Amino acid sequence: MDSEALSALAAAGGAAVAQAAGTDAWQELRRKVGQWLGRGQVDREARHLRLLDATEAALAGAGQDDGERTAQAQAWSTRFATVLESLDGDEREAFADRLRAVLTELGHSRADGPGWVVNGDVRAGDGSVIAGTVFGGVNVGRPFRPDPPRG
């Protein structure tokens, strides 16, 4: 798996955590991510479950603060990337497949496909934006108007 695909998968994972916190999907995502990050070690799983709980609490306390949601998405993206990068070859592929399956099950099926996840603000000057998931603001300027033809 190349570094671009790893980054996209990690970003999708981070976005999924930040998006699911406080929703009906949270408990299922929390359980599966805890298991995935725990990699079969009960103490490691418990540590990640505590981090997930802290994320949920931070986002609940932040209300509509997009900055906090962005920060949490980035933190989880980093955690996912760190785990994936620490694994070798086949083990990395297996864990990536498992993370993809978790995201797909929970409705984040574009975790490794075309498109992207934005953890921050998007500014578009041409009047349009295409994005999978944006945690931050979207500012769409007026479309560019060419000079009238001269002739």
| pLDDT tens-digit map of 42-88 | 999 999 999 999 999 998 887 766 788 889 999 999 999 999 999 99
Higher pLDDT: 9 or 115? It is 9
Helix (H) or strand (E) segment spanning residue 71: helix 66-86
Looking at the structure of the chain, the number of domains it has is 1
Q: Which residues sit opposite 122 in a β-bridge?
A: 138
CA distances 84 to 9, 28, 37, 63, 131, Å, are: 9, 21, 10, 31, 24
92 pLDDT band (50/70/90 cuts)?
very high
For residue 12, the enclosing domain spans 3-113
Average pLDDT over residues 26-41: 90
Collect all residues with Cβ–Cβ distance below 8 Å to 68 and sequence separation of at least 6.
Answer: 58, 59, 62
What's the rounded Cα separation, in Å, for the pair 88 and 9? Answer: 16
Higher pLDDT: 21 or 108? It is 21
pTM: 0.68
Residue 130 is assigned to a structural domain of this protein: no
Q: Residue 139: pLDDT above 60? A: no
Residue 125 is assigned to a structural domain of this protein: no
Residue 122 is assigned to a structural domain of this protein: no
Residue 108 is assigned to a structural domain of this protein: yes
